[in-house]
Amino acid sequence: MDRLACHSRREKQLTPGSAQSTFSDPFAVSIFCIHAVDLSKPRWGTRMPNEELSYVIVTPYSMRKSRTGGIIARLISRTGLDLVTSRMFAPSAELTKRYAETIVTETEPRHRATQELIRDYVLKNFTGKVNGQKARVLFLVLRGEDAIEKIHRTIGHIVHERTSGETIRDTFGDYITDDSGKVIYFEPAALAAFDPKAVERDLKLWVEFSDSDGGILDHVIEFPKEAKVEKSLVLIKPDNFKFPNQRPGGVIEVFSRTGLFIIGFKVHRMSVAQAEEFYGPVLPVLEDKLGAQKGRNAWEDIVEFMAGGRPSAVNGDQRNAPGSEKCIAIVYQGDDAVRKIREVLGPTDPAKAPPGSIRKEFGQSIMINAAHASDSAENAKREMAIVQVDENNFKPLIESFYARP
């Protein structure tokens, strides 16, 4: 069985490990069809038993409706998997065609019909424009033990909607038929694959197009001539990743209130050198306010929080190596983007932030305050260059994973 796995209770039995580590979904072993993409990849080193990569593609419709945060919150909190890399794509006609060609594999008529729905959906929605927006998709790669099965259960089924909100497709997808059973509206919300060979094939396909079709999508949105179009950088800070939870997705969900567009998305581990440069302007301010020694210590605390190492304790090549702390770098684009993002973020001190702001809802202290956002369009350019938001770390991670024994 390939790419679009149509499972029945007879065809697939849950392993004890997957049953214990994943929430119960009575439809996970009932008859249903899902197009999911899973990437199998462990940490750098020897592959651990049952450790896999899995992938999820957030569809163009979900992107336009700003449902990205809700989907990410479900994926991380319900699976316990590690989000290891991601990339924005504006799929070309060639990528769309080649991806769609792999979808229909079933011979049983009912299952094949569902696969054909998905194939047609991809061909229709992964290219072209809607309301001045070229199709964008967000490709997420997650890693962990039994990742494919966990994503399978969390994404959910396509047909026989229960609309209970238990799975991602229950909440964000639609499969609507008329009285005769003909499908009149179909939106899968997210795509994935549940066969390891299909996952590997799909990942390698998207890697092939990751430079030409992926990265910062500067020219996919049409704006009115009078719009003050800006780009702003947001960092979802390391305090949101201490354990699998809804916080990263929740922060993104609040930012969606701005009406801005996500055009870049990168999972990033800031090096000590990057954190020093990123927060360099803060050092003289702290030294002036607290004195040279206390100000320097406070600044090193910030660098350590973001990168996992103190400048005074890290030397040589270690300074430029990826740090131990994870963040998500997101590029937002739109009219008056910097002001809108800062307004939703709230002031540095969560205690002074207004209700409904990100730092009020998710922040703990002046340093552990959920997210960073650029304070000017000029600083956004500087900060994006430091964290290399257009860097393709998607490609080497996937290639390295499949190159290992």
Mean per-residue pLDDT, 62-84: 97
Q: How far apart are CA 23 and CA 170, in angstroms?
A: 15
* Strand runs labelled E in 242-346: 261-268, 327-335
Q: What is the pLDDT of residue 320?
A: 97
Q: Tell me the per-residue pLDDT of 259-269, one tens digit each, with 9 for 90 and over.
A: 999 999 999 99
* More confidently predicted of 158 and 40: 158
Where in 172-294 does DSSP place strands (E)? 174-177, 183-187, 190-191, 229-236, 261-268
Distance CA 32, CA 192 (A): 14
- The matching CATH number, chosen from 3.30.70.141, 3.40.50.360, 3.40.50.300, 1.25.40.10, for 4-215 is 3.30.70.141
**8 A C-beta contact, residue 236 and residue 262:** no
Q: What mean pLDDT do residues 344-366 have?
A: 96
Q: Determine what percent of the chain is predicted with pLDDT higher than 70.
A: 86
Specify the range with the lowest mean pLDDT, choosing from 30-39, 43-52, 376-385: 30-39
What is the longest distance spanned by two Cα atoms in the chain? 76
Integer Cα distance of 56 and 156 in angstroms? 12
Average pLDDT over residues 206-212: 98
Residues 6+ apart with CB under 8 A from 216: 88, 263, 264, 331, 389, 390
CA 68 to chain centre: 8
Closest CA to 237 of 370, 375, 386, 72: 370
**Nearest-angstrom CA–CA distance, 30 and 12:** 9
Query: Is residue 311 predicted with pLDDT exceeding 60?
Result: yes
Backbone angles phi, psi at 328, to 5 degrees: -115, 125
For residue range 86-145, what is the model confidence (pLDDT) as tens digits?
Answer: 999 999 999 999 999 999 988 888 878 888 999 999 999 999 999 999 999 999 999 999
pLDDT number for residue 122: 98
Residue 2 has pLDDT above 70, yes or no: no
Give the pLDDT of residue 114: 85
Q: Same topology for domains 4-215 and 229-402, yes or no? A: yes
What does the domain layout of the chain look like in residue ranges?
A: 4-215, 229-402
Side-chain-facing half-sphere of 309: CA atoms under 13 Å: 22
Token pair in block for residue 164: 């209970």
Catalytic residue, candidates 7, 111, 268, 372: 372
In angstroms, the CA 250 to CA 258 distance is 14
Pinpoint the alpha helices (H) of 317-357.
337-345
When the pLDDT of each residue in the chain is averaged and rounded to a whole number, the result is: 88
Report the alpha-carbon distance of residue 388 to residue 56 in Å, rounded.
Answer: 23
CATH 3.30.70.141 fits 229-402, yes or no: yes
As a whole number, mean pLDDT of residues 198-218 equals 97
Q: What is the pLDDT of residue 47?
A: 60
Residue 401 pLDDT exceeds 80: yes
Backbone angles phi, psi at 393, to 5 degrees: -90, 0
Active site residue 372: yes
The model's confidence at residue 46, banded by pLDDT at 50, 70 and 90, is low
Closest listed residue to residue 282, CA positions, set 264, 306, 318: 306
Q: Is 122 helix (H, G, I), strand (E, B) or coil?
A: helix
More confident residue, 99 or 6: 99
Within 10 A of 98 (CB to CB), how many other CB atoms are there? Answer: 15
In angstroms, what CA-CA distances link 247 with 72, 167, 241, 363? 9, 18, 8, 10
Q: What percent of the chain has pLDDT over 90?
A: 79
Q: Which pLDDT value is given to residue 11? A: 34
pLDDT for the residue numbered 210: 98
Mean pLDDT computed over 368-382: 97
Where residue 50 falls among pLDDT bands split at 50, 70, 90? confident
